[in-house]
Amino acid sequence: MVTRHTRGRVTWIDLESPTHEELAAVMREFGIDERVEEEIIAPTHYPISIAFPRYHYLILHFPTADPDSGTRNQEVDFIVGKEFLITARYEVIDTIHNLHRVFEAEELLGIPHPSTKADELLERVLRRLYGAIREEMERAARTLERIEQDMFSGGERDTVHTISDVGRVLLRFQTTLGRHVEPLSLFLHGLASPAFFGLKFKEHIAHIEA
């Protein structure tokens, strides 16, 4: 499925479980290298950041809680050009789905400003994705508070299993996010080069890294 939003001269294309034909059509439209298309087709296990003359490519995995396995990673591929953002994924990600609904409402109300820039759009998407992780961690923190209350009220044995579950979630989140540091930094600081968004993008970098 291909979802498209246009804000002035900037276009966001989101590919959710795209067919080979849908993916190839978008890659041709924006002149994306065939090597990137091959990377998007197959899942990757580690983040990747690659700079091309006209765009930058980034793969990140975002951890999320899962009722069966405790946690799982959701891969999102980003291709950022001066006037476009392409995101690709092979499963439903609630954060992105909800952002589409926000965009649709804004477009219906005529809110989008014609001067919207690709760097602002990228920051908005990344802040949403990392914001979802923050919410997951807040839920884990509330679980830990309940565990403490149970332990000090005589329920030590019943809490052991819960402690183990929460510990696995926290460890998986920490490990996955730790892998973001280097490729995300390379990606963001590459976008701040004079040939791309320039030094003005450093403000967006600060917001995203925070």
Which domains can be identified in the chain, with CATH numbers?
2-209 (3.30.460.20)
For the chain, give percent helix, strand, coil, nearest 5.
Answer: 55, 20, 25
Phi, psi of 71 (to 5 degrees): -145, 160
Predicted TM-score (pTM) of this structure: 0.82
> Is 80 exceeded by the pLDDT of residue 107?
no
> Is 90 exceeded by the pLDDT of residue 208?
no
For range 179-185, the mean pLDDT: 90
- Whole-number average pLDDT of the chain: 83
Cα–Cα distance, 98 to 105 (Å, whole number)? 11
User: In this predicted model, what pLDDT tens digit does every residue of 36-87 receive, in sequence order?
Assistant: 888 888 888 889 999 899 999 999 998 887 666 567 788 899 999 988 999 9
Predicted confidence at residue 172, as pLDDT, reads: 80
User: In this predicted model, what pLDDT tens digit does every residue of 33-48 receive, in sequence order?
Assistant: 888 888 888 888 889 9
For range 148-163, the mean pLDDT: 63
